[in-house]
Amino acid sequence: MFLFLFAASAASLKEKNGLTQCSICNILAENIEKGLERGIEESQIKQQLKENCDKLGILADACNIIVDQSFSKLIYFLRSGESGKAACRLIGACKPTAYYENQEDDFVE
């Protein structure tokens, strides 16, 4: 089931120092995508995410806040074709990446 991915991802990230809101959001978005692909109802996905957030110890509050405040926004962006990472940036959980990184300037001086 898609929740295995959640547990495995969270466990590997928990080992690293500084698990961020962005990392948690990316895990949640990935699991939402998997649930949607499998045709699981949104309410069931949300319930499963919250149950798994509660198993994350000191990270549970941060995880639950994202689910409580941003679940419907994540669903919207994911259903609109955005990637999980993009959805997390769009809701403000992750910092935007530099769009023009490795791009040449088009400005004429």
Residue 5 CB burial class (10 angstroms; 0-12, 13-18, ≥19): middle
Residue 44 is encoded by which pair of tokens?
């069931």
Looking at the chain, the whole-number percentage of residues with pLDDT higher than 70 is 71
- Structural domains in the chain, CATH included, are 2-90 (1.10.225.10)
Kindly give the confidence (pLDDT) of every residue in the chain, 109 residues in length, as a single tens digit, with 9 standing for 90 and above.
Answer: 455 455 545 544 443 434 578 999 999 999 999 999 999 999 999 999 999 999 988 889 999 999 999 999 999 999 999 999 999 999 999 987 654 344 444 434 3
